[in-house]
Chains A and B, each alone.
Chain A
């Protein structure tokens, strides 16, 4: 098999589409996975709850 322009464009036009769709689905599953909600909330709240980090307000 020779790697030429036709082969590379064919690959980009097919595989490129499918891997991006698969990755999008993967990201959505990760973001909405029910058991992930708790660590997400905790991380979001930790940023603002750290009283000692802002002695100035």
Chain B
């Protein structure tokens, strides 16, 4: 990895690690009586690990100029492995917290094993650890292929990948210690948030610098989605995390917002995290890997552009549907409801576009479980967005809000859409990047597919039942006009569904473990000698043939 850096990049890396160590030690010293001290040590250890790796490879010869005639895929490769590992961790903790709901005594009387601390490890582990690494790995791959330009340098992609994973580690370890600012999907405290902003700015700059050097005049639509993801997540993250720390040596901070403004800012963030992290970014993935794997161009390129602008601009206004029947002004609730319903149009345009692309390639869907993952993702995307629009209607929300129906809806999207499109894309990408003829085992992909599908269906059906029963029990009155059931009555009624959802999650987790094994084995299996000629190179000789078809 160090041997791939140029001399100047090695110096930049050295300064980066030095700054990281200095900040880490300062935090450890300034926060020695506080939990921030522990995180200071984590940060300085990350810097020291980087410095040791740098020193061990510092004397390596400069990389050859030949590298510029090839894409730079090593950060994507590392990102794929990190995605799969975070997937297993995040889903394992997910099964654990699901089991905690069914058997609450499983906490071993340890503070870190309580539901409140483990649950954010699950949510951040799967959203940011699994989803975020998948987005970084695939975006760097798609960006280079669709612009036919190599990444601008060798250091910044590694900085983004490892810097982002440092953020994920700070987040997860902080939750276990009890560090949280209690904002859904934005729990990490101020210092981790500032670090993520630095990483994110570098990530965006990689995108812009590569696009500026692109050889294709038109920017393929997948890049628009990835850029919307990067840009809007930066906006959301910075605004929602505006806070003042108690002191520089203390983890605790106080939000700049309070009351209903705080709630609105949080759910503007929260719903747009769904929109731009879990939707736009993964749509970028779908618009590249699904046509590529199916061997057919996207059904309607125009429709992909129209739905892009529809999704980006309408999602922005939908967040207030999380606050129906609260102190939020009624018209803001109605606004969120209206935009959520209209959102169905661009959402179904995207799902339909994906499925129509497969028209004429259904035999491939039948034979190829990798493509089937992507098809199923598009179907679940259509289902989850329909359900979301429906649940955002105030009258429906009066039944579904605060119940497990919401959890079922989230998992229809997260398991059915996000995880399926990710696994489909990674299965397709791994043999391309490591230049392998095929995956280690197509049979294991089949196993994964059916485990993932049955796990998702069991999970979602369990939560639908549970949520509707909860909602109905909470609104049933008796003849004297008081509530018919106590809260504990509804809790007891949930018990069988909580066991069912644990089983569903366990099936999905087994699929994730199989995926990790299958991809690691694909990488470790030696390359057959004959396939060596198949290299993919960017378009370097510019003046010669301006209209040469891609790939020449």
On A, residues with C-beta under 8 Å from B are 9, 13, 20, 23-24, 27-28, 30-32, 39-56
Query: How far, in angstroms, from A56 to B292 measured CA to CA in the complex?
Result: 12
Q: Which 9 A-B pairs have the closest CB atoms?
A: A55-B534, A44-B297, A56-B431, A39-B218, A46-B550, A50-B551, A40-B301, A52-B536, A27-B309
A40 contact set on B, CB distance < 8 A: 218, 301-302, 305
Query: How far, in angstroms, from A51 to B146 measured CA to CA in the complex?
Result: 13
Given A31-B302, A49-B549, A54-B432, 6 more A-B residue pairs with CB atoms under 8 Å apart are A43-B216, A44-B301, A46-B216, A47-B145, A50-B145, A52-B537
Q: Is B402 located at the chain interface by the 8 A CB criterion?
A: no
Q: Is B313 located at the chain interface by the 8 A CB criterion?
A: yes
Q: Is B541 located at the chain interface by the 8 A CB criterion?
A: no
Out of A24, A48, A51, name the residue touching B291 (CB < 8 Å).
A48
Report whether A47 and B534 are in contact in the complex, using a CB–CB cutoff of 8 Å: no
0 or 1 for each of B129-166: is its CB under 8 Å from A? (1 = yes): 00000000000000001100000000000000000000
Query: How far, in angstroms, from A49 to B220 measured CA to CA in the complex?
Result: 14
> Can you sample 10 A-B contacts with CB below 8 Å?
A27-B309, A28-B306, A40-B218, A43-B216, A43-B218, A46-B220, A47-B146, A48-B296, A55-B437, A56-B432
Report whether A43 and B220 are in contact in the complex, using a CB–CB cutoff of 8 Å: yes
Report whether B292 and A48 are in contact in the complex, using a CB–CB cutoff of 8 Å: yes
Report whether B306 and A45 are in contact in the complex, using a CB–CB cutoff of 8 Å: no
Q: Is B451 located at the chain interface by the 8 A CB criterion?
A: no
Q: Is B108 located at the chain interface by the 8 A CB criterion?
A: no
Query: How far, in angstroms, from A32 to B301 measured CA to CA in the complex?
Result: 10
Report whether A52 and B551 are in contact in the complex, using a CB–CB cutoff of 8 Å: yes
Q: Is B360 located at the chain interface by the 8 A CB criterion?
A: no
Least CB distance, B305 to chain A, in whole angstroms: 5
B window 295-310: CB within 8 A of A: 295-298, 301-302, 305-306, 309-310
Report whether A55 and B531 are in contact in the complex, using a CB–CB cutoff of 8 Å: yes
Q: Is B546 located at the chain interface by the 8 A CB criterion?
A: no
A32 contact set on B, CB distance < 8 A: 302
Query: How far, in angstroms, from A53 to B431 measured CA to CA in the complex?
Result: 10
Q: Is B77 located at the chain interface by the 8 A CB criterion?
A: no
Query: How far, in angstroms, from A28 to B303 measured CA to CA in the complex?
Result: 10
Report whether A52 and B534 are in contact in the complex, using a CB–CB cutoff of 8 Å: yes
B window 455-509: CB within 8 A of A: none
Q: Is B435 located at the chain interface by the 8 A CB criterion?
A: yes
On B, residues with C-beta under 8 Å from A are 145-146, 216-221, 288, 291-292, 294-298, 301-302, 305-306, 309-310, 313, 331, 431-432, 435-438, 531, 534-537, 549-551
Report whether B536 and A23 are in contact in the complex, using a CB–CB cutoff of 8 Å: no
Report whether B536 and A41 are in contact in the complex, using a CB–CB cutoff of 8 Å: no
Out of B217, B294, B298, B551, name the residue touching A51 (CB < 8 Å).
B551
Task: Specify the chain B residue showing the minimal Cβ separation from A54.
Answer: B432
Report whether A52 and B535 are in contact in the complex, using a CB–CB cutoff of 8 Å: yes
Report whether B220 and A30 are in contact in the complex, using a CB–CB cutoff of 8 Å: no
Report whether B301 and A41 are in contact in the complex, using a CB–CB cutoff of 8 Å: yes
Query: How far, in angstroms, from A31 to B303 measured CA to CA in the complex?
Result: 8
Out of A13, A23, A49, name the residue touching B550 (CB < 8 Å).
A49
B531 contact set on A, CB distance < 8 A: 55
Least CB distance, B434 to chain A, in whole angstroms: 9
Task: Specify the chain B residue showing the minimal Cβ separation from A37.
Answer: B302
Query: How far, in angstroms, from A32 to B512 measured CA to CA in the complex?
Result: 42
Least CB distance, B407 to chain A, in whole angstroms: 32
Task: Specify the chain A residue showing the minimal Cβ separation from B300.
Answer: A44
B294 contact set on A, CB distance < 8 A: 48
B296 contact set on A, CB distance < 8 A: 48
A53 contact set on B, CB distance < 8 A: 145, 292, 432, 536, 551
Least CB distance, B547 to chain A, in whole angstroms: 10
Report whether B297 and A47 are in contact in the complex, using a CB–CB cutoff of 8 Å: yes
Most buried by B among A23, A32, A44, A53: A44
Report whether B305 and A27 are in contact in the complex, using a CB–CB cutoff of 8 Å: yes
Least CB distance, A16 to chain B, in whole angstroms: 8
Report whether A43 and B438 are in contact in the complex, using a CB–CB cutoff of 8 Å: no
Task: Specify the chain B residue showing the minimal Cβ separation from A26.
Answer: B309
B431 contact set on A, CB distance < 8 A: 55-56
Report whether B298 and A44 are in contact in the complex, using a CB–CB cutoff of 8 Å: yes
